[in-house]
Amino acid sequence: MRKILKIVGSIILVLILFVMLTKLWADKTYFNEYDPDLPFNVQMEGSTTIHEPFEFYGVHRVKHFEEILFTIDARPNEPMPVLLTLPVRRSGKLPAIVFLHGIGQGKGFVREICTPFTNAGFAMVSFDQHMRGPRRVEGNPFKQVLAFRQRPWKTVNDARRLIDYLQTHPEIDPERIYLVGASYGAITGTSLTAFEDRIRAAVLVVGGGNIPVMLNAPMIRDGVNNAALHWIARTFVSWLMRPADPIHYGHLTEGTPVLMQSGSEDILVTPEAGEELYNSLGSPKEIRWYPCDHPGNREEDAPIIVQILDEALEWLLEIDSVHRNDVPVVDDAVSEAVQEEAHPESPPIEDAEEDDFGDDEVEDDDNVEADAPDSSDEMEAAA
């Protein structure tokens, strides 16, 4: 009996050692699957011009941009759906903002926030991250856990592939690529900025670092509602996702300007998590605190969410001003949008959809006109 127990103990020890070595190797090579030489295999899906009123967190605005839908290959046989928005009236090469959406959103959210940016002369582009939109993962819990583990490295590497493509686009200035990441997009966006010298500046909205600290957020802890279960889950997820923690890479942002925008009353990405991320960053960096909860948690925070976005645009315009020869690049439609905002007595917009800038579920309706204007033809030619 003692001999059998000894054999069983040896087998268990070997298995534990195997798991530890496998995990160590997997962590060390976590972000390795990025291939800048992979063909893009661009597949155009269509384009359309959007011009319609809408309500964004209580502010009446006018959506005004051209959108182009297409896919590029993130990895062999793994197409990545992309939504590119452009100013309707434009000339010359444009600066581009890569937008990384929240954990429960999709690329379609960029439609809700892009107009002030396109009016100011920026292109804004987003993609469906792994586990979102057509890239949803179905299957048993093991497949879901594996996909959750893969999502950060895929998000970072997919964004790098998108930057590869943008640098070949005939309407994009390859030297003026910026990042805006929201919540989960700010967390993964930190690692992206750390690895990518091609990102000229980054805005990290309600982002955090140090996974054990993030998992101790009141919204997560109260959602589990069991101290022992929360401790087990927190310990396991912290171990599983360790290589995705942005605080390991924050120092590599040295030399890239970073603006953090954080909520001082955030119960999902807490101020403590925000401080952890900020302290890990290289210079130059700035953090601004706003008296709000995580976007989408409290209706009364709506004006602050609008303020956060508007200040992000102002900051990016300041960074980009050295390329603009002191002449603002503003779409003519911006005056109409400003007039809408300046007249609160305007009748309310029926069925206006209010999307959260955080991580709530957002439907991604990508139905567009089948005919494609000249810009999409140029994209195919460039590919």
Tens-place pLDDT, residues 230-265: 999 999 999 999 999 999 999 999 999 999 999 999
> Residues 192, 333: one domain?
yes
pTM, entire model: 0.85
> Residues 212, 306: one domain?
yes
> Residues 78, 3: one domain?
no
State the average pLDDT over residues 206-235: 96
Cis ω for the linkage preceding 76 (within 30 of 0): no
> Residues 8, 96: one domain?
no
Query: What CATH number does the domain containing 54 carry?
Result: 3.40.50.1820
How many domains is the chain built from? 2
Q: Helices H, strands E: what count in the chain?
A: 12, 9
What tens digit of pLDDT does each residue of 136-157 get? 999 899 999 999 999 999 999 9
State the average pLDDT over residues 327-339: 46
> Residues 15, 116: one domain?
no
Separation of alpha carbons 266 and 273, rounded Å: 10
The pLDDT assigned to 163 comes to: 98
> Residues 175, 143: one domain?
yes
53 versus 16: the higher-pLDDT residue is 53
Question: Does the pLDDT value for residue 7 go beyond 90?
Answer: no
What tens digit of pLDDT does each residue of 71-119 get? 999 999 999 999 999 999 998 999 999 999 999 999 999 999 999 999 9
State the average pLDDT over residues 262-289: 98
Say whether 171 sits in a helix, a strand or coil. Answer: coil
> Residues 119, 15: one domain?
no
Residues 6 or more apart in contact with residue 131 via CB below 8 angstroms: 137, 147, 148, 151
State the average pLDDT over residues 215-240: 96
Give the containing element (helix H, strand E) for 262. strand 258-263
State the average pLDDT over residues 302-324: 96
Confidence of residue 67 (pLDDT cuts 50, 70, 90): very high
> Whole-number mean pLDDT of the chain?
87
> Residues 93, 241: one domain?
yes
Confidence of residue 356 (pLDDT cuts 50, 70, 90): low
State the average pLDDT over residues 156-175: 97
> Residues 376, 352: one domain?
yes
Domain, as residue range, for 16: 1-30
> Residues 160, 284: one domain?
yes
What tens digit of pLDDT does each residue of 170-187 get? 999 999 999 999 999 999
Comparing 43-47, 135-139, 209-213, 346-350, the range with the smallest average pLDDT is 346-350
Task: Name the packing angle between helices 184-195 and 271-280 (round to 10°).
Answer: 0
The pLDDT assigned to 10 comes to: 79
> Residues 360, 300: one domain?
yes
The single-letter DSSP state of residue 204 is E
> Residues 296, 371: one domain?
yes
Q: Select from 50, 51, 121, 41 the least CA-distant residue to 73.
A: 41
Confidence of residue 374 (pLDDT cuts 50, 70, 90): very low
The pLDDT assigned to 15 comes to: 84
Confidence of residue 324 (pLDDT cuts 50, 70, 90): confident
